[in-house]
């Protein structure tokens, strides 16, 4: 069974790494935050001293980091993965980053005959914990097949969608749909509440019809309970939407609804709500309508 290195033990990375341990993989881990490291060591992982050190001990190196700059630094920077990785090893970047950044890192690794895939995930912390993430993969099919079983230990849906960067293009599409869905639900429930109709009953009445969705079922209960503990933070969704806009502009694709949702998220960030779950988008509409959605 392959030796795995895991770099990035935050809200998502920590439970993902634990699921690899549960599946019986040998794991060496690294994070700049001690709490994540200590938790994984207690669960049976070994500690690495740097991304370079992790890579030197691993056949597969997984990164789960906040954004493109962190991925570049961890893989290509001083004491990075590229300085310690062994011939024949594979890099799996599971971060949600700009597709062009994935292609840049891939090209640099290819110069050392190291293969890479980008494999961002969807499902948030709950699905990271129970190992049922949706994983969308870009990169050489041969590389994907070599690590598919490892990915399956962290996700219930693992799909190869194309060449390098395709995983992150798919993730951006996912994040656009999720953001617009949450915003639509928020608008609708604020409207119902302002009209004097019980928002929970509205939800129950429409969830089985065409308007129903996984997003609705996950986020409406949080709105009704006023429970905005993340899940998936607004500031992280801002990052994804900015990557979506940048990529769309580079490709000449207008995405006007996405730009509006990004500005709504930015407004909530200014109000100190950046670390709220993205179900907290409802608070923007509530402020405009001067009413709260709740049970």
Residue 114: count other Cβ atoms within 10 Å of its Cβ: 22
Tell me the Ramachandran region of residue 293: left when phi exceeds 0, alpha when psi lies from -120 to 50, beta otherwise: beta
Burial (CB count within 10 angstroms: exposed 0-12, middle 13-18, buried 19+), residue 1: exposed
Residue 251: count other Cβ atoms within 10 Å of its Cβ: 9
What is the gyration radius of the CA atoms in the chain, in angstroms?
20
- What is the set of active-site residues? 171
């Amino acid at each position: 069974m392959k030796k795995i290195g895991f770099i990035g033990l935050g809200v998502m990375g920590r439970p993902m790494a634990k699921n690899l341990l549960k599946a019986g993989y040998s794991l060496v881990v690294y994070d700049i935050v001690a709490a994540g490291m200590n938790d994984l060591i207690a669960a049976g992982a070994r500690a690495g001293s740097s991304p370079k050190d992790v890579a030197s001990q691993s056949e597969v190196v997984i990164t789960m980091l906040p954004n493109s700059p962190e991925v570049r630094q961890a893989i290509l920077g001083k004491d990075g993965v590229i300085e310690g990785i062994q011939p024949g090893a594979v890099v799996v970047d599971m971060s949600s980053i700009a597709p062009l950044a994935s292609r840049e890192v891939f090209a640099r690794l290819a110069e050392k005959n190291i293969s890479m895939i980008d494999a961002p995930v969807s499902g948030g912390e709950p699905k990271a914990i129970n190992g049922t993430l949706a994983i969308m993969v870009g990169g050489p099919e041969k590389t994907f097949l070599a690590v598919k079983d490892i990915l399956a230990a962290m996700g219930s849906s693992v799909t190869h969608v194309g060449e390098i960067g395709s995983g992150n293009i798919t993730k951006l599409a996912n994040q656009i749909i999720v953001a617009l869905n949450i915003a639509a639900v928020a608008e609708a429930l604020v409207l119902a509440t302002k009209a004097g109709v019980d928002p929970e009953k509205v939800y129950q009445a429409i969830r089985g019809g065409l308007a129903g969705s996984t997003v609705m079922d996950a986020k409406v209960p949080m709105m009704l309970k006023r429970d905005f503990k993340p899940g998936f933070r607004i500031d992280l969704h801002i990052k994804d939407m900015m990557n979506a806009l940048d990529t769309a502009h580079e490709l000449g694709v207008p995405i006007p609804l996405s730009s509006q949702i990004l500005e709504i998220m930015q407004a909530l960030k200014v109000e100190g709500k950046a670390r709220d779950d993205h179900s907290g988008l409802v608070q923007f509409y509530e402020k405009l309508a001067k009413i709260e959605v709740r049970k």
